Amino acid sequence: MSNNPWSERIYKQVIPFLIETLGGFLVAVSIDSFAVNGEFPLTGFSGIAMIFNRLLGMPIGVTILLLNVPLAFLCYRLLGRHFFLRSIRCMVISSFFIDYVGPLLPAYQGDRLLAALCTGVIMGVGYGLIYLQNSSTGGADFVVMSLKVLRPHLSLGKIIFLTDFVIVMTGGILFGDADGIIYGLIINFIFSVVIDKVMYGANAGKLTLIVTEHGERISQTIEDTCHRGSTRLTAFGGYKGEDKQVVMCACSDKQMYQVQQAVKAADPASFMVVLESNEVHGEGFKYLQMGD
């Protein structure tokens, strides 16, 4: 890519827009090709819009936009101007796809359970791509993002599952569809899991703690193997009271396998513990930002 600052600025604007567009298209596919025909009580403002669609025949995309307007302004101050404008753009894109592109796609006519699974996965990927760009499709997303800002320790998937549970129950009860409630909860669960995988998958990795008497050698081995830094901690053995060092390193799953092999070759007497890391922030890992 060119070193021209203007070109870089355009590049940084075009790529997020294309990813948001893809996310909006996937959301439309999940709703129009699977959820509408399966008559599932969906989550968020999409679920509320589908209730109005079934009761009054109102277009889903337009209804989502109308529901979004008052809530968008309420969350404006908490989430910031830039996030607000990006979300407005995503709202228009996703609503256009839902009302004008999605209906042109073939609707799935098969098993209802398979339709529910496809709805949850495809919708989760679509929303996950949008959230990765620090944007949203508005509506319940504004509430979710606001809660994320206020309670950053909670994952987006968990917040979404909790906030959408009531909408799924309401839709199922309103239409007297007990199976629909079950399918809706299945979709909600899969949707929340997929969003977490899409958003935090790039930031997930492994953390290793290596107990050794040769800390400098192990740190250099890790650096030579996968170009990852490490931290050395001073420790002593609990049984014999011997001086030890603990080398701590965070890296990807593939790199961790390489580290394991290299460390065992460098110090066969070392003791290694490998832990799952849902989020890693710092050099070499992407920082996920919510709002401005």
Domains of the chain, start order? 5-201 (no CATH), 205-277 (3.30.70.120)
User: How many CA atoms, within 13 angstroms, populate the side-chain half-sphere of residue 98?
Assistant: 30
28 has a pLDDT exceeding 60: yes
pLDDT of residue 251: 84
pLDDT of residue 78: 64
Query: Which of residues 86 and 78 earns the better pLDDT score?
Result: 86
Mean per-residue pLDDT over the chain, rounded: 80
pLDDT of residue 34: 92
pLDDT of residue 135: 80
Distance separating alpha carbons of residues 144 and 255, to the nearest angstrom: 34
pLDDT tens digit string along 194-207? 887 887 765 667 88
Phi–psi pair at 234, nearest 5 degrees: -85, 135
List all residues 6 or more positions away from 44 whose beta carbon is below 8 Å from its beta carbon. Answer: 139, 140, 141, 160, 163, 164, 167
pTM above 0.85, yes or no: no
182 has a pLDDT exceeding 70: yes
β-pair partners for 206: 251, 276
- Tell me which residue of 120, 204, 212, 206 sits closest to 168, measured CA to CA: 120
- C-alpha separations of 49 from 64, 110, 252 in Å: 6, 24, 41
